[in-house]
Structure 1
């Protein structure tokens, strides 16, 4: 019975590892596409009509190059940080050892993920503040990003990282008593 549980857990972790790679690659492609189209739009303003999948910021680009650069930079940071999270998840999943699951490496990676999630939350807050500022001045209407999930997730991942750290302490104590 115990070997079935281990096998199932290992299979789930393998599936999560593969899904993390797929998500990471997808987010890298998205970030790269936005970055390249942004670069092209700096040279050719007409390219701002279709930055990514029909997303047009041409009105903002015409209004102010500086404001345009701020908005697209926040979008690139948002997408890039999400890709970085999945890179860290891949690293954490590759370091998980089922015989000795609590390691400081994994605990530190989880803690780092929580900090990056806080960074994503901050970028989303800045973007939303800027979108609100644009709307008040009737410059452009941008959709607001949801920020609640990132802050909550950051807290949960941070708590899990602290549990992992405590697990490392307990494992170390148990190894010393044997």
Structure 2
């Protein structure tokens, strides 16, 4: 496909991007806009490492062509908060030390943020379902669940 100039709104900033319309959003975010929160994982939309919010809904950017993203609000991990003022979800993950290697962390934070946007006071089952396709093999599942609960304003048991 030939390249076109497309206007994307990412993290509140509008950018014109020259790319083929079928280019995966992930490549534009990382290569053209230098946003490295979303990661390349499986390339099939399965693992969630590439997750972003599109109009407030978690989406797998590795399988979404940019032509379907024009006129929509895209938010990456970088757009949630800053180092000085992290988003409450980011702050909860920091407080719970909910990460091991960090590769899958982008997807877990984005999935938690999307959950809280649609259900500000989720049940345990809702949290588990939202994170079900994001939990990696790192062994940080307990901390991740506590971080999601903390971000939802739920009481978190003291650490042992």
- The reply to whether TM is greater than 0.5 is no
- Higher-Rg structure is 1
Identify the structure with the greater strand proportion.
2
Bin of the TM-score, shorter chain as denominator length: under 0.3
**Alignment TM-score, normalising by the size of structure 2:** 0.24
**Alignment TM-score, normalising by the size of structure 1:** 0.23
